[in-house]
Each structure stands twice: as structure tokens, then as C-alpha cells.
């Protein structure tokens, strides 16, 4: 579907977000195709039952983890990356064997319409449905009983989803947002730091859940950053960024107005130009911002980057810890001790050192928030694991050896039986060489039981002879 309709999907993204080809392909179309290919390459392995290690007492049993689909999954997508954020969890739920209802975000109207139009042409209509609509439709959907709900969007709506899911104790993944801080240390390479922070901030016009929300750094670092940022923004977007084909637009009037209000906080060091007719806001950096300003209280989700001054890493840690746990925490610097100090003394969904955004592309890293920035995670194998219940199965048989050994659990109890049971059940460290000891012991026991059994049978046979 994605391969055959690339141009139409690109056009829908462009109509919703004014976004150019490069970002549409990198972050949505090609990204999603790649995720699907990765799933196809691995689905056999990921879906296969697992045989975890077992204790000595279970050596004759099968200890198996079955990957059981939950059943019917509801995927609710967000508008800022309307294709990727709908289709990646949607395909993960399908791959895991579920029936799925997809509810794309009505805010990106062209993208939700194209998903509603294309998906029924490509997939089984009984198992996979797309429901279009807004808050009313989502509210109605949330009244139904689902077996799993995967929601991407704001923390406020995340709370509504969680509350609705409680009625049927439905498990949820909540991929939410929040303010992702950037700490820049004086040891950082400022030119590279500025490029990596500004790129992460201005892709999709700042409407990225893991966009760097604000910078905390010393006054000296701020001055150096602003100097570099002026040159970089000019180099990337020209004298008049509004003419750049590489900057998207704000999704709608409501969000545009919300962002305009932030521009009166602090002092504009770079940018500040706005155009309501195009819902355009130039890449903007604010300085002399106070912790208590509005721009520092809610997630910005736009091309405005405030800088708040602090003196050192300890202050940065205290500042980060005094606020909601972020979806992403970005640290720039070369002092390893200081970087580890921040990593070990803060809590965030993900932590990235000396870059922004790119953890999304590392499919072996769980992607998700903590606390108000979300619960659960996905990407790579986790996109499959999220949608299966790992059903633990203990499968025994009626083998006489197993039953004879396991008979120690039956009354009448004795100290001898207790000792033997403890020996069988004891947790043992995984020391090389000792690994095979339980098998050897079980083998020995098996032989002993067999001979014992034979001896008893012989006695009975002789006894039975005339």
C-alpha cells in the first residue's frame, strides 16, 4: 500500500503539515516501510514459542512461552506524524495476530482520509477497520471492550484513555508527550551541538513529541550557542525562512495561536517572525526566559526554543527532577563523569547523549515515556511484543521417572523429602561447567529409578513364581 501510493501519501502529508518531500519520506513513508520490512524479516522468530531455561525439577517437562495475540486492538494515532504513528503500531498489532481498529487523528484530516480510503483496499475488511472521526467517535470507541489499546497523543487525553481502559482492565500503551530538556555543558562542541539541537527542534516545525523543548545551560554557553545558531539557521533556511521549502507549517489555527502567545516570554534572540495567513512561525530562540514563564510550563510543540540559564550539571539535575519526567532527555558535553552523573540521577523515557531524535531509529532501543510522558514502549521487536500476551505454559507428562521424583511433594511429608525437594528446586548460578550438573544428576537419578523399578518388578515376579 505504501509503495503503491507514495505520491498520494506525500501529497496528503503536504496538505496537512506543509511538509516537504525529504521529511515526509524519511520520517513517514520510508520509515514505515522499513519497520514493516524489519517485521517481515523477523516475524517467524519473534512469533515462535520460547523455551526459557528451567530448574532441575522441570528437566523432564516442557517449559514454554507461547505468544498469544491479545484479541481486538484499538490503535489511536496522533496528527504530528500521522502516517508513521498510525501505521507502525497498526502493523505491529496485525503481525502479532490481532484484529485491529485504527483511529487516525482527525486533526491531520487529509492523512486520516487517505488511510480510511486505502487500508480497506489492501487488508481484510473483517479483521482490520479504520474509523474516521473526532473526539465524539474516539469517546464512543473507548466505551467498547478492547483487549489492548495503543494510544499516541497528549498526556491529557492519555489520562482519558487510561480511565476508559480501566472499566475492562484493558492493558494500554500510552505514547505521550511533555517537555524534553536539553542540557548543554561547557565541554560540548558548540557548532555540532547547535546543528543537532536545531535540526531536532525544527524538523516538522517543532511538532515532534521528542523535539528538544528547551535548553538549560550557562550564560557563556548560551552566548556561544546563539552565535552559531544565527549562522546555521541562515545557512539552512536562507535570509527569509518563510521561503524555505524545508520548513513545514503549524497544523491549525488553534495551535498557531497557542504558540504565538509564547513569543512574549523572555526576549527574542533569533527569529520571531510570524504570518497567520500561512500559519508560519520562523525558527525562534528566546533568551532571558524565567522558569515560571508560560513557555516553560507546557509542551511547546512548535519552532520556539527557550534558553534558561543555570550554572552547572548539579543545577541541571535539580531542575530536571523538579519537573515531570520527560519523554526524552538530551545531554551535550564530553565529560563522561558528568554525563553519567546526569544519567544516573534523572529519570526520563529515553536519554540521548550528544544528539537529538535519532534514538527513534535504533530499533533495539525501547521507545516510550515514563510517568506523565507515557507507559510502555515499542519499536523493533517491542512493536511485536507489545501486542502479544507471553503465555507461560508448563507441559508435563505421565512419565514414571518424573512422577517418582516429583512424588516427594506428596504427603506424608518428612524431613528427608523436604531436603530432596530443596535440592531439586534450589536456584543455581549460571556458572560455566556447572551448567550441565543438573542434567547429570537427573540422568543419574533416572538410571537409579529405572534399576530400582526393575529390582522391585523382579522381586514381584519371583514372588509370583510357584
Single residue of 32, 105, 165, 350 touching ligand NAD by CB under 6 A: 105
Neighbours of 244 (CB within 10 A): 16
> Of 250, 340, 291, which is closest to residue 18 (Cα–Cα)?
250
Per DSSP bridges, beta strands 274-275 and 172-175 are unpaired
Closer to ligand NAD by Cβ: residue 67 or 379: 379
For position 138 contacting ligand NAD by CB under 6 A, the verdict is yes
157 binds ligand NAD (CB under 6 A): yes
Closest to ligand NAD by CB, 17 vs 190, is: 17
Quickly list DSSP for 114-182. Answer: HHHHHHHHHS-TTTEEE----HHHHHHHHHS--SEEEEES-HHHHHHHHHHHHTTT--EEEE----EEE
Tell me the residue nearest to ligand NAD as measured from the CB.
Answer: 177
Q: How far is CA 423 from the centre of its chain?
A: 42
Choose which of 5, 99, 154, 351 interacts with ligand NAD (CB under 6 A). 154
The Cα 132–Cα 111 span in angstroms is 11
- Cβ-based nearer residue to ligand NAD, 134 or 390: 134
Query: For ligand NAD, which stretch binds (CB under 6 A), given 30-38, 58-66, 147-155, 220-228?
Result: 147-155
* Binding of residue 16 to ligand NAD (CB under 6 A): no
- Specify the residue, 62 or 137, whose C-beta has the smaller distance to ligand NAD: 137
Question: Which range binds ligand NAD by CB under 6 A, 5-13, 22-30, 170-178, 448-456?
Answer: 170-178
Whose Cβ is closer to ligand NAD: residue 282's or residue 357's?
Answer: 357
- For the bound state, the minimum distance from the C-beta of residue 174 to ligand NAD, rounded and expressed in Å, comes to 8
Residue 131 binding ligand NAD, by CB under 6 A: no
The neighbour count for residue 246, using CB atoms within 10 Å, is 15
Dmax (CA) for the chain in angstroms is 113
Residue in 72, 111, 327, 331 binding ligand NAD, rule: CB under 6 A: 327
- Of residues 37, 139, 166, 321, which one binds ligand NAD by CB under 6 A? 139
Q: Please indicate whether residue 111 is annotated as part of the active site.
A: no
Cα atoms found within 13 Å of the Cα of residue 236, Cβ hemisphere only:
17
CB of 294 to ligand NAD, least distance (A): 16
Q: Could you give the string, one character per residue 293-322, with x where binding to ligand NAD holds by CB under 6 A and - elsewhere?
A: ------x-x---------------------
Distance, CA of 241 to CA of 271 (rounded, Å):
9
C-alpha cell at position 364: 533495539
Site track 48-87 with ligand NAD (rule: CB under 6 A), x = hit: ----------------------------xxxxx----x--
Residue 201 near residue 305, CB atoms below 8 Å = yes
Q: CB nearer to ligand NAD: give 15 or 157.
A: 157
- Cis peptide leading into residue 97 (ω within 30°): no
Residue-wise DSSP of 180-240: EEEEE-TTS-HHHHHHHHHHHHHGGGG--TTSEEEEEE-HHHHHHHHHHHHHHHHHHH-SS
Q: What part of residues 203-242 is at the interface with ligand NAD (CB under 6 A)?
A: 209
* 391: helix, strand or coil: strand
- For 285, the enclosing helix (H) or strand (E) is strand 284-287
Query: Looking at 23, 35, 106, 175, which residue is catalytic?
Result: 175
Using the Cα atoms of residue 314, residue 320, residue 323 and residue 324 in order, give the sign of their dihedral: negative
Q: Is 351 in the site for ligand NAD (CB under 6 A)?
A: no
What is the helix (H) or strand (E) element at residue 280, kind and residue range?
strand 280-281
Is 175 a known active-site residue? yes
**Where does this chain touch ligand NAD (CB under 6 A) — which range of 45-53, 169-177, 430-438, 442-450?**
169-177
The alpha helices in 277-352, defined as continuous H runs, are: 313-321, 336-345
Considering only 153, 200, 302, 333, the residue that binds ligand NAD (CB under 6 A) is 153
CB of 109 to ligand NAD, least distance (A): 11
Q: How far is the CB of 250 from ligand NAD (least distance, A)?
A: 12
Site string for ligand NAD, 401-420 (x = CB under 6 A): --------------------
Phi/psi class of residue 299: alpha, beta or left (left: φ > 0; alpha: ψ in -120 to 50)?
beta
Total residues at interface with ligand NAD (CB under 6 A): 28
CA–CA distance, 264 with 308 (Å, rounded to integer): 15
For residues 15 and 18, give the distance between their C-alpha atoms in angstroms, rounded to a whole number.
6
Q: Which CB, 78 or 130, lies closer to ligand NAD?
A: 78
Contact set with ligand NAD (CB under 6 A) = 76-80, 85, 103, 105-107, 134-135, 138-139, 152-154, 157, 160, 175-177, 209, 299, 301, 327, 369, 374
Catalytic residues: 175, 209
Amino acid at each position: 500500500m505504501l509503495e503503491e501510493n507514495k505520491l498520494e501519501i506525500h501529497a496528503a502529508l503536504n496538505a496537512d503539515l506543509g511538509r516537504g518531500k525529504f521529511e515526509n519520506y524519511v520520517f513517514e513513508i520510508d520509515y514505515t516501510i522499513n519497520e514493516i520490512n524489519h517485521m517481515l524479516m523477523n516475524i517467524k522468530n519473534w512469533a515462535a514459542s520460547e523455551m526459557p531455561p528451567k530448574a532441575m525439577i522441570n528437566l523432564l517437562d516442557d517449559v514454554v512461552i507461547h505468544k498469544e495475540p491479545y484479541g481486538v486492538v484499538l490503535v489511536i494515532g496522533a496528527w504530528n506524524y500521522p502516517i508513521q504513528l498510525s501505521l507502525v503500531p497498526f502493523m505491529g498489532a496485525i503481525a502479532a495476530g490481532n484484529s485491529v481498529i485504527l483511529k487516525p487523528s482527525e486533526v491531520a484530516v487529509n492523512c486520516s482520509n487517505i488511510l480510511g480510503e486505502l487500508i480497506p483496499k489492501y487488508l481484510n475488511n473483517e479483521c482490520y477497520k479504520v474509523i474516521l472521526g473526532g473526539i465524539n467517535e474516539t469517546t464512543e470507541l473507548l466505551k467498547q471492550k478492547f483487549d489492548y489499546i495503543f494510544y499516541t497523543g497528549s498526556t491529557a487525553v492519555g489520562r482519558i484513555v487510561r480511565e476508559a481502559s480501566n472499566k475492562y482492565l484493558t492493558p494500554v500503551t500510552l505514547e505521550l508527550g511533555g517537555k524534553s530538556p536539553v542540557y548543554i555543558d561547557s565541554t560540548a562542541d558548540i557548532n555540532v551541538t547547535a546543528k543537532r539541537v536545531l535540526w531536532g527542534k525544527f524538523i516538522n516545525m517543532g511538532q515532534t513529541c521528542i523535539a528538544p523543548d528547551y535548553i538549560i545551560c550557562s550564560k557563556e554557553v548560551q552566548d556561544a550557542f546563539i552565535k552559531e545558531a544565527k549562522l546555521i539557521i541562515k545557512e539552512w533556511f536562507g535570509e527569509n525562512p518563510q521561503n524555505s521549502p524545508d520548513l513545514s507549517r503549524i497544523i491549525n489555527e488553534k495551535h498557531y495561536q497557542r504558540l504565538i502567545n509564547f513569543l512574549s516570554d523572555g526576549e527574542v534572540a533569533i527569529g520571531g517572525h510570524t504570518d497567520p495567513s500561512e500559519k508560519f512561525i520562523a525558527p525562534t530562540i528566546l533568551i532571558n526566559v524565567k522558569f515560571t514563564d508560560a513557555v516553560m510550563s507546557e509542551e511547546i510543540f512548535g519552532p520556539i526554543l527557550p534558553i534558561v540559564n543555570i550554572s552547572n550539571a548539579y543545577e541541571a539535575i535539580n531542575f530536571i527532577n523538579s519537573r515531570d519526567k520527560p519523554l526524552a532527555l538530551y545531554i551535550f558535553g564530553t565529560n563522561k563523569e558528568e554525563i553519567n552523573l546526569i544519567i544516573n540521577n534523572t529519570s526520563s523515557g529515553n536519554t540521548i547523549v550528544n544528539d537529538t531524535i535519532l534514538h527513534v531509529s535504533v530499533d533495539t532501543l525501547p521507545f516510550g515515556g515514563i510517568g506523565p510522558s507515557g507507559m510502555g514502549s515499542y519499536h523493533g521487536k517491542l512493536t511485536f511484543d507489545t501486542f502479544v500476551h507471553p503465555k507461560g505454559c508448563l507441559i508435563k507428562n505421565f512419565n514414571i521417572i518424573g512422577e517418582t521424583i516429583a512424588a516427594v511433594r506428596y504427603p506424608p511429608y518428612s524431613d528427608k523429602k523436604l531436603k530432596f525437594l530443596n535440592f531439586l528446586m534450589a536456584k543455581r548460578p549460571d556458572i560455566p561447567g556447572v551448567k550441565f550438573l543438573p542434567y547429570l544428576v537427573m540422568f543419574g537419578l533416572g538410571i537409579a529409578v529405572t534399576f530400582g523399578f526393575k529390582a522391585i518388578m523382579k522381586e514381584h515376579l519371583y514372588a509370583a513364581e510357584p
